[in-house]
Structure 1
Amino acid sequence: MPEPESPASGARGATVAAATDGTDWRARLEGLTGARADAAVAGERPLGLQFELRRRVLRRPGQFQGARDEPARRAASVDRLGVRPVTRGSRGAWIKAGLTWQNIAYQGESGGYDPAQARWFAQFAALKGSPAGGIPTWGSELITVDEYASPLFWALLAEARRLGVHLVGADATPDVRLAAAAWVGLEATVDAEGALALVPTVDVDGAASTVEHARAVGEHGVYRFDFDTGVIELAPVAGGATSAQLALLGGADVLHVPAADLDEFLRAHHRVLARTLPIRSSDGSFAPPPAPPADLVLTATHAPAGSLRLAWAWDHGDGRTSPLAASVDPVRFDGEPVEARAAVIAAAVGVLAGFEADRDETAERVRAVLEHARDDEVELHDADAAAFADRVVPRLEALGRVRVEVVGDPPDFRELTDRPTFTVTTVESRQADWFDLGVLVTVAGRTVPFMPLFRALSTGARRLKLVDNSYLSLRRPEFDELRELLDEAGTLAEWETGMRIHRSRASLWADFEDLADAAEPAVSWRATVAGLADDAAVEPLPEPDGLALPLRPYQLDGFRWLAFLWRHRLGGILADDMGLGKTAQTLALVQHAVEAQGRGAPFLVVAPTSVASNWVREAARFTPGLRAASVAATEGAGRPTIAEVAADADLVITTYAVLRLDADAFAALEWGGLVLDEAQFVKNPATKAHEAARGIRAPFRLAVTGTPVENHLGELWAILNLVAPGLFPSRRAFDERFRRPIEEDGNAERRDLLRRRIRPLMLRRTKEAVAPELPPKQEQVLTVALAPRHRRLYDATLQRERQKLLDLLDDDLDRQRFIVYRSLTLLRMLALDASLIDERHAGMPSAKLDALFEQLDDVLAEGHRALVFSQFTSFLGRVAGRLEAEGVPYAYLDGATPARARDEEVARFRSGAASVFCISLKAGGFGLNLTEADYVFLLDPWWNPASEQQAVDRAHRIGQDRRVMVYRLVAEGTIEEKVMALKARKGELVASVLDGDPGATDAALSAADVRELLDG
């Protein structure tokens, strides 16, 4: 009797039986080899990757939809090659069957497909990635092969074959072939006459053709199509395709070089061309010229921080490079003698021998790298980098066989060779018997910061680079004397905390004074203040006889205060609220001066271009006896000179633009007084306008502005520097003593001290205090919800900009300020209207615009008139367009409106011909009296409270007899809500310093403020 089988032997028997049965040998073979059988055999539905040539069809004019994407039938219409997942239908054709790139990843077995194949499709889509912004360029049905950036594309297609995924075509091109390799370049042939033809060619697995029917796959391959044969071929390009190769695909002209020009082509152009495009000659008719001698190449890389990296190498002109250390290898240099290369290096070393760095070892290292053929990279900084780029690089470029390749954005380095001028000032210190010493150095009109200059002189630096990338040599004899004086005055450590000199060292001060080319007016200004009697007081003067219209009581007080300053040759700031008649008070002073001392040197009034004409009108109205003249253009042929105008005038009115351009002509005259209207125009001491105003010779200077501080306290210093130059002569001292403690630390003691210091020279009254007869002003915030599509677009953009900016804010905000403001402006515009940032969103509704017109409908129906303000003229144009479409008469004013048209638009509104006035904040935030309006709409808030207040005060000012309604439209859940909160805090600084309110904060935009604005 046979023994019973054990379980193990039974299993072996079953295996043998199955193996000899033959029914599942394909499945077993797949398990052994990794190859897959046709999915249909296993009962799974087959999957395929369908390739289809597509074209883009533009819509007819007037249609709002985007371009239509459809199959291409002709070669000339092919725009791209798209792929989609398909499956075989019941009749054998490949169909979509509801498959998309979005759902195939989770179809898998639930749809009857092979899970491995479904996962492959998901991986293919994921590696393609999404376009910028996440919005597909062509729609989401097909993935565009042309834009497939990942070179893993070819490995994925090979994997598709292994998994059994079919590569199939469409109706016009049913045959899809995956080739091994492609070559893209120029096929060179020389005909019997000796002419050269360079034919753009694509070669796929040895089959060459022209490039008209070939396109790029990313930057790593090509596809070629033929509608006649119905074939699409795909192949990778070894090493990836260059930009020049990609440019050939799709159609490029044959380059014909006549026989007479062939030598020139080979000598001057072949080398450059061969560097960018492969060139071959399959028929052997063209033989390239031998390789030229290698060039010595200096790669000079400019880093954002201002440094310059220097690296040397040899370039053979045919795509090959060699390190500097290979100079002694004849094989790598095509047999060129070593002596020839040594001569090239020696010439370059000769140029470098004249380069001096601040540290001797740095200059020595620059030379030693070449002399000893080392492949070191040398980095230069600041003034050394500037001098090398400006002086050494041009000399190297002039050498034969030496080339300089510049990487990065090279700054505009330039050496200042003008003679430096020095200005020295002393300011009393709080310590007895000490003076604060100020030394101002100017070269070619540029102010050299003293502390960097002092450090450079103290450390023996050879040169100094300024912030505008200019640089100057410190080896000039003028600096030798200054260096000696600084050495005597104190050590660098002592001067880091402030420059001081003891009263007993009068001889040293005299030496500094002798060195200076100019003297600040601080000494004379202080002498004037010291000469005032202790009992000096504002006299109760009557109104000037020549004043045609009476002054209000508070205006009479203001006139008397101005007359006091004028009589004592002091300057000041008239900082009354907008709309309280600062112009009338100033004109009363000019009339008083003429009546008190007779006709002499005229007063000079400088105003913004948009306001200058208003001064002429107001002078005729209030002081008709004054001889007022306007200088609205620079001196030129056919126009009287400024001196000729001033000779026959009591009051000369000009603009900041004209003052800046004709600064010398204005500075050459003696003026009775200087009035700077809207003085915030000269709040930046680095501008030409500020410099021109500082050069005016006048015993009395007055700044007229309702906003002496808009962003930070440095603006207040700049204005005081013009009208009261001895109050805070040193900007550095002002920043250290007042600005930084108040703005950064909230120091209440310093804030109160600053307020006490400026109070005698600043007169500021609010409308609430001096004009109680003004009707009330009611302000309201209207919150506007964005439409759903608009909300999605805004949130997506916010996330993108937040990610970009939060990384930048870890760096110095001042260096990144342009990028930061650009992104914040983008978000502000997007909160208003999506079409402002991209016309493709023109069909997206603007909730802000709809909300405005809902309000305007009621306002206009009740007979009211409105001002509409926006900082963005593009959005203001949208408002004007809708008003015109609805037949509402309106006036319009922005920065591009000419002066004559500006007056006409104002007249139209004031006469009642227009019910709505659309005004840009920049152009109409000051100088306008529009009390005919009693509704004000502010469409876009900003963190500078002064700009909005000035806009509102166009209507809420003396002469208004109705309640003024102010509406701020704020987009809900956007940057605008953050701006409203930030603006409230920024306004506290101005109030705390000028009005005495507590709670000073920094009015400038800080990195923390930007982070808060981006907080979703």
Structure 2
Amino acid sequence: MEYKPHKYQEYATQRILDTPYIALLLEMGLGKTVSTLTAIDLLLNDYFEANRVLVIAPLRVAEDTWPREIEKWDHLRHLRISKVLGSAAQRRKALKADADIYVINRENVEWLVSEYGSKWPFDTVVIDELSSFKNHQSKRFRALRRVRPMIKRVIGLTGTPAPNGLIDLWPQIYLLDQGERLGKTVTGYRDRYFVPAERDGHIVYKWKQKKEAEQRIYEAISDIAVSMKAEDWLELPPRVDRTVSVRLSDQARALYKKLERDLLLPFADADVVANTAAALSNKLLQMASGAVYDEDRGVKLIHDAKLDALEDIIEAANGKPVMVFYNFKHSFDRIMQRFPQARTLRKGKDGNEDIRAWNNDEIPILLLHPKSAGHGLNLQESSCQTVVWFDQIWSLEEDQQANARVHRQGQTRRIVVMRLVAEGTIDEDAVAALERKATGQEALMQAVKARIARLNENGGE
């Protein structure tokens, strides 16, 4: 296919060429992979400023997206790519291959660094989904930090650089500029831009931004960060978000309320901290979807109301493919039992075949988990117009990334995103948090505390 770049893609490519280390904070669907590959080709073959290029990406993106983009565009087909995936022996063989670009999944970064030590051979490194290096204590961050002085060019790609707040930015920017802009240490970064919000002695559980911290941070990194929003550049067809209220039967509602009360009452007079809130909200969301794991990992069924609602939606789609996101294994099992024609994406080459089949309307119902389908998958070529969230989640990043699998560049149809929300359950809190653009831990903690407070007001009834 002939590559006819948008103006913003030309700009992004030029910024990569002009800037030794850069973050492209491009929203999903803006074609950051082809923009980056175009720059890499120029650096390798025109400017001679790159010799060996490493791409670090989520596993499925490493396996499928980068090779597929090279095959797709005429001007890139001469590039040779080696997939450093699989067993240690397979990875070592791939590293010895004569290639222009070596692509590895982020879980094996630590292995790669230990494999080469001080003989690190890659002068250019692309970090696809830079936000996956947001934890300064993670092994992958520490490993890449060790070899960062040996890398001439770093290109960081992400659409969601700070999904849980600006506290996440320091490790990502450090891998670009080695601490020039936001400080050499995470402690210095926190002291400069944040104050403790919740602490226990010397341990700080939560940080709060200082006044004008956001503006100062963005000013500090503005010369090495390019931020673009899809709505500013692409004329995408409209996306309609709908909340589908699912009414539980009296029996199911009573069972949900009983289980909710039994779950929450032990905490009525105790502090609910982050790990407790996460466990409690997880159980409540399971119950809202119709089943819950018991202490022995058995499944306790509560209702089929969401399955019935999903059946109505699939029928209304009139034969067009429907994409369904689930968050719990028992939800997946129950959906498959009700709709045996449904499929999910397999791993490796089988998964590539599944993507092809979906984009050719050969799969009527595609079940996806937001964590495994969140980055880099191009699923917009099918005639699917209906996306259903069977289970509700707290993560804004996962929600945005997942919905962008179909609502992205190349989509020509209106997309309807439907969220199945069980009335009177924690589903309502999760969806409200996403609508407020609140994310993750803080939102779920407040929701759990509110439900405990309600139980106290009702005397445990």
Structures share fold, TM-score greater than 0.5: yes
What letter matches 1:656 in structure 2?
R
User: Given the alignment, which residue of 35, 47, 62 partners 1:612?
Assistant: 62
Partner deviation per Cα, 1:220-270 (whole Å, 9 max, x = no partner): xxxxxxxxxxxxxxxxxxxxxxxxxxxxxxxxxxxxxxxxxxxxxxxxxxx
Q: In 2, are the aligned partners of 1:970 and 1:976 still within 8 Å (CA)? A: yes
Q: In 2, are the aligned partners of 1:634 and 1:662 still within 8 Å (CA)? A: no
Give the drift of 1:702. Answer: 1.6
How many angstroms apart in 1 are the aligned matches of 2:451 and 2:408?
33
Give the drift of 1:839. Answer: 5.4
- 2:344 is the alignment partner of 1:892: yes
Matches within 5 A, 1:710-729: 710-725=163-178, 726-728=180-182, 729=184
- 2:270 is the alignment partner of 1:819: no
Partner deviation per Cα, 1:633-682 (whole Å, 9 max, x = no partner): 3543895273x23xx22211111122222322245323221111122222
Label 1:749 to 1:712 Cα distance change in 2 as closer, same or farther (>3 A): closer
Label 1:755 to 1:1003 Cα distance change in 2 as closer, same or farther (>3 A): farther
How many angstroms apart in 2 are the aligned matches of 1:819 and 1:939?
24
Give the drift of 1:599. Answer: 7.8
Q: In 2, are the aligned partners of 1:873 and 1:920 still within 8 Å (CA)? A: no
Point out the structure with max Rg over C-alpha: 1
Matches within 5 A, 1:767-846: 767-772=230-235, 774-809=236-271, 813=273, 817-834=274-291, 836-837=293-294, 841-842=300-301, 844-846=302-304
Q: Which runs of 5+ in 1 are unaligned?
A: 1-546, 990-1001
User: Given the alignment, which residue of 716, 726, 731 partners 2:186?
Assistant: 731
Name the structure where helix makes up a greater proportion of residues: 2
Paired residue for 2:307?
849
User: Given the alignment, which residue of 442, 450, 458 partners 1:1012?
Assistant: 450
How many angstroms apart in 1 are the aligned matches of 2:247 and 2:304?
10
What letter matches 2:388 in structure 1?
F
What letter matches 2:130 in structure 1?
A
Give the drift of 1:548. Answer: 5.3
How many angstroms apart in 1 are the aligned matches of 2:112 and 2:299?
46
- 2:28 is the alignment partner of 1:578: yes
Paired residue for 1:978?
429
Partner deviation per Cα, 1:684-716 (whole Å, 9 max, x = no partner): 121111122223331111211111112232321
Q: In 2, are the aligned partners of 1:713 and 1:739 still within 8 Å (CA)? A: no
Paired residue for 1:390?
none
How many angstroms apart in 1 are the aligned matches of 2:11 and 2:146?
30
Give the drift of 1:802. Answer: 2.1
User: Given the alignment, which residue of 893, 904, 911 partners 2:353?
Assistant: 904
Paired residue for 1:414?
none
Q: In 1, are the aligned partners of 2:27 and 2:159 still within 8 Å (CA)? A: yes
Give the drift of 1:594. Answer: 1.1
Q: SS of the counterpart of 1:783?
A: strand
Paired residue for 1:948?
399
Q: SS of the counterpart of 2:46?
A: helix
Label 1:637 to 1:930 Cα distance change in 2 as closer, same or farther (>3 A): closer
Q: In 1, are the aligned partners of 2:82 and 2:94 still within 8 Å (CA)? A: no
How many angstroms apart in 1 are the aligned matches of 2:369 and 2:385?
18
Label 1:581 to 1:805 Cα distance change in 2 as closer, same or farther (>3 A): farther
Give the drift of 1:1006. Answer: 7.7
Matches within 5 A, 1:360-439: none
Paired residue for 1:549?
3
How many angstroms apart in 2 are the aligned matches of 1:1008 and 1:840?
27
Partner deviation per Cα, 1:55-78 (whole Å, 9 max, x = no partner): xxxxxxxxxxxxxxxxxxxxxxxx
Paired residue for 1:621?
72
Give the drift of 1:583. Answer: 0.5
User: Given the alignment, which residue of 310, 316, 328 partners 1:858?
Assistant: 316
Q: In 2, are the aligned partners of 1:634 and 1:661 still within 8 Å (CA)? A: no
Q: In 1, are the aligned partners of 2:51 and 2:100 still within 8 Å (CA)? A: yes
Paired residue for 1:631?
84
Q: Which of the pair has the greater relative contact order for Cα pairs under 8 Å at 6+ separation? A: 2
What letter matches 2:284 in structure 1?
L
Q: In 1, are the aligned partners of 2:291 and 2:330 still within 8 Å (CA)? A: no
Paired residue for 1:315?
none
Paired residue for 1:365?
none
How many angstroms apart in 1 are the aligned matches of 2:153 and 2:49?
16
Q: In 1, are the aligned partners of 2:280 and 2:448 still within 8 Å (CA)? A: no
Paired residue for 1:924?
373
What letter matches 1:779 in structure 2?
D
Q: In 2, are the aligned partners of 1:979 and 1:1013 still within 8 Å (CA)? A: no
Label 1:688 to 1:1013 Cα distance change in 2 as closer, same or farther (>3 A): farther
- 2:218 is the alignment partner of 1:759: no
How many angstroms apart in 2 are the aligned matches of 1:902 and 1:808?
46
Q: In 1, are the aligned partners of 2:16 and 2:39 still within 8 Å (CA)? A: yes
Partner deviation per Cα, 1:5-27 (whole Å, 9 max, x = no partner): xxxxxxxxxxxxxxxxxxxxxxx
Give the drift of 1:600. Answer: 5.2
Matches within 5 A, 1:315-334: none
How many angstroms apart in 1 are the aligned matches of 2:101 and 2:79?
7
Number of residue-to-residue matches in the alignment:
434
Label 1:584 to 1:637 Cα distance change in 2 as closer, same or farther (>3 A): closer
What letter matches 1:655 in structure 2?
N
How many angstroms apart in 2 are the aligned matches of 1:559 and 1:808?
54
Partner deviation per Cα, 1:503-559 (whole Å, 9 max, x = no partner): xxxxxxxxxxxxxxxxxxxxxxxxxxxxxxxxxxxxxxxxxxxx9522122111111
Q: TM-score, normalised by structure 2?
A: 0.87
Q: In 2, are the aligned partners of 1:978 and 1:1013 still within 8 Å (CA)? A: no
